[in-house]
A and B are shown apart, each in its own frame.
Chain A
């Protein structure tokens, strides 16, 4: 079953088309990532899904509720973590007091609130610092606190807008693990936006690539990479002089030939006719081949290729 099922979502701000007939379907229990550059429309899409923003066209459902007619019900069942650290974190309250405050706001009774806050602090790994002022803990911990606020009521859908931006490397990794744990433990469907390729690669079940308000592709990471296997690169480590290297480069320029630090790179698939042609030429030229290897495209290269081909 699809938790989020939207079709033809369009949104314009003035003359700028932020989203252009976007379809999105997020399955129950998956971690779905929306990947895109700054200005791609990721935040606009998330705002529409949680009904903080109305689309100009399109419709659908979130959690089975109609996007336009039942927006209050959607908002009551969705949790959000915005990109800025410290949003919703009150510096004058302790870590525990912050969560207790939000527990009441979310409608939990006193007993439920105390129990749920204790559980959440333990899950977050913040139980030891529960009596410290919120501003005394690190930014990574405060971002966890923000997510902890969001999971107090175990809503079925959790929206994370660039959750690890502004965090240091260690905090990023810790938070990513934590996000996976939330899904695994509670079965929460997570919709995440990011422009970090490694984050998308690490966390996602499926990725949607958004560029200039348009959906370019939606697929799993592996399938995405397979789609661009045609742009696989081979690397040939070789010993040669500059004159021969020049001749080889000009002969195979059509294969995107590149040479640097005794390494030739060609954009051809492994074991293809093109590769054979190149290797034959190396032999004829008397170039000493030291090693041949292939380089799978990273998600970043995949993204760049896909968005590049859309221009």
Chain B
């Protein structure tokens, strides 16, 4: 119990420190607010091009709402998936990896703690996307089954963090200390970017890509969130490959898949990271100091 409290207090200490660093980049704060506004504006303009009330079956007929949810998933994923590797790299290159290992902290606590800066950068953008969307661009939402919505958001966060830890494990497991990290690149920059359906329904994709999207937690999270939160969203008609095979409510199937992915990716991520650290201890590649 005491150890758990030490981990929690340390995460708070990291968070405070990262907050101080984050606030020192004042221009960045302005540009990130503007980024959200600009992205929302772009898709609002495209919704004008499409015309009002263009159906996006089975997700209602409000393209701006559709994209706001996509952007929200993007911001959460960008931090949770993309950040762990960068944070491990930062800890390694600034020489503090050894100091954290010689402390009561678990292997993962410093990574989570330092991610706080990105959490500050990206999570509030979710709220901003909703705010700009509803205030300026005509996005409309409903909140059917609010606890389910909350659960889906949490599971999306957890599952993407698990993939992020798998990515981070390559730093030691594959000794990838410079250049592009392959897990993050393949997942985030290729597969998720193309097939997660941030800005279009995955039915637009060739069938082969739709199958690929079946391995992404984003696919299920966005499907469920869009059905539940966009007025006119259909709760019954299956559209994803797995939903067509599995004859249960699409939203329920999404939640089940997300839960399984969360457990699997988190376990795999933590396990591979620990294995990577042990391997690095053997090889002498754990710390930068020679």
* A and B from one complex: yes
Which A positions have Cβ atoms within 8 angstroms of B? 11, 13, 43-44, 47, 50-54, 75-76, 78-80, 82-84, 87-88, 90, 92-93, 97, 101, 104-107, 149, 161
5 pairs of residues in contact across A and B, judged by CB atoms under 8 Å:
A51-B281, A52-B98, A54-B281, A97-B17, A101-B17
Which A residue sits closest to B105, measured CB to CB?
A105
List chain B residues, Cβ under 8 A from A43: 289-290
Which of B5-13, B45-53, B213-221, B240-248 interfaces with chain A? Answer: B5-13
A107 to B101, CA, bound (A): 13
Query: What's the interface size class on B, roughly?
Result: 20 to 34
Report whether B284 and A53 are in contact in the complex, using a CB–CB cutoff of 8 Å: yes
List chain A residues, Cβ under 8 A from B234: none
Report whether A105 and B10 are in contact in the complex, using a CB–CB cutoff of 8 Å: yes
List chain A residues, Cβ under 8 A from B20: 92-93
List chain B residues, Cβ under 8 A from A52: 98, 101-102, 281, 286-287
In this complex, which of A43, A52, A75 has the most chain B Cβ atoms within 10 angstroms of its Cβ?
A52
A149 to B104, CA, bound (A): 14
In this complex, which of B21, B99, B104 has the most chain A Cβ atoms within 10 angstroms of its Cβ?
B99
Which B positions have Cβ atoms within 8 angstroms of A? 2, 6, 9-10, 12-13, 17, 20-21, 24, 94-96, 98-105, 281-284, 286-287, 289-290
Query: Nearest-CB distance from A166 to chain B (Å)?
Result: 13
List chain A residues, Cβ under 8 A from B104: 76, 105-107
Query: Nearest-CB distance from A236 to chain B (Å)?
Result: 46
List chain B residues, Cβ under 8 A from A106: 103-104
List chain A residues, Cβ under 8 A from B17: 90, 92-93, 97, 101
> Which among B6, B9, B102, B289 is the interface contact of A79 at CB below 8 angstroms?
B102
Query: Nearest-CB distance from A49 to chain B (Å)?
Result: 11
Which A residue sits closest to B94, measured CB to CB?
A87
List chain B residues, Cβ under 8 A from A82: 95, 98-99, 287, 289
A104-B13 CB under 8 A given contacts A43-B290, A52-B281: yes
A104-B9 CB under 8 A given contacts A76-B104, A79-B102, A92-B24: yes
A50 to B284, CA, bound (A): 13
In this complex, which of A50, A82, A83 has the most chain B Cβ atoms within 10 angstroms of its Cβ?
A82
List chain A residues, Cβ under 8 A from B100: 105
> Which among B9, B94, B99, B287 is the interface contact of A47 at CB below 8 angstroms?
B287
Which A residue sits closest to B98, measured CB to CB?
A52
With A43-B289, A52-B101 known, 6 other A-B pairs at CB within 8 A are A43-B290, A44-B284, A53-B284, A54-B281, A76-B104, A105-B105
A-B pairs, top 10 by smallest CB distance, nearest first, are A87-B95, A104-B13, A107-B6, A82-B289, A107-B104, A88-B99, A54-B282, A92-B21, A54-B281, A75-B102
Query: Nearest-CB distance from B240 to chain A (Å)?
Result: 44
A90 to B284, CA, bound (A): 26
A75-B101 CB under 8 A given contacts A52-B281, A53-B284, A90-B17: yes
Report whether B102 and A78 are in contact in the complex, using a CB–CB cutoff of 8 Å: yes
Report whether B102 and A161 are in contact in the complex, using a CB–CB cutoff of 8 Å: no
Report whether A80 and B284 are in contact in the complex, using a CB–CB cutoff of 8 Å: no
A212 to B287, CA, bound (A): 21
A13 to B284, CA, bound (A): 8
Which A residue sits closest to B100, measured CB to CB?
A105
List chain B residues, Cβ under 8 A from A90: 17
> Which among A47, A75, A104, A107 is the interface contact of B284 at CB below 8 angstroms?
A47
A80 to B97, CA, bound (A): 12
A150 to B77, CA, bound (A): 37
Report whether A105 and B289 are in contact in the complex, using a CB–CB cutoff of 8 Å: no
A83 to B282, CA, bound (A): 21
List chain B residues, Cβ under 8 A from A51: 281
Query: Nearest-CB distance from B263 to chain A (Å)?
Result: 26
A88-B281 CB under 8 A given contacts A75-B102, A76-B104, A105-B100: no
Report whether B13 and A105 are in contact in the complex, using a CB–CB cutoff of 8 Å: yes
Report whether B13 and A88 are in contact in the complex, using a CB–CB cutoff of 8 Å: no
Query: Nearest-CB distance from B287 to chain A (Å)?
Result: 6
Report whether B103 and A161 are in contact in the complex, using a CB–CB cutoff of 8 Å: no
List chain B residues, Cβ under 8 A from A88: 95-96, 99
> Which among A11, A53, A92 is the interface contact of B286 at CB below 8 angstroms?
A53
List chain A residues, Cβ under 8 A from B284: 11, 13, 44, 47, 53
Report whether A105 and B103 are in contact in the complex, using a CB–CB cutoff of 8 Å: yes
Query: Nearest-CB distance from A77 to chain B (Å)?
Result: 9
Query: Nearest-CB distance from B239 to chain A (Å)?
Result: 48
List chain A residues, Cβ under 8 A from B290: 43
Query: Nearest-CB distance from A110 to chain B (Å)?
Result: 9
> Which among A11, A76, A80 is the interface contact of B99 at CB below 8 angstroms?
A80
Which B residue sits closest to A74, measured CB to CB?
B102
A80 to B99, CA, bound (A): 7
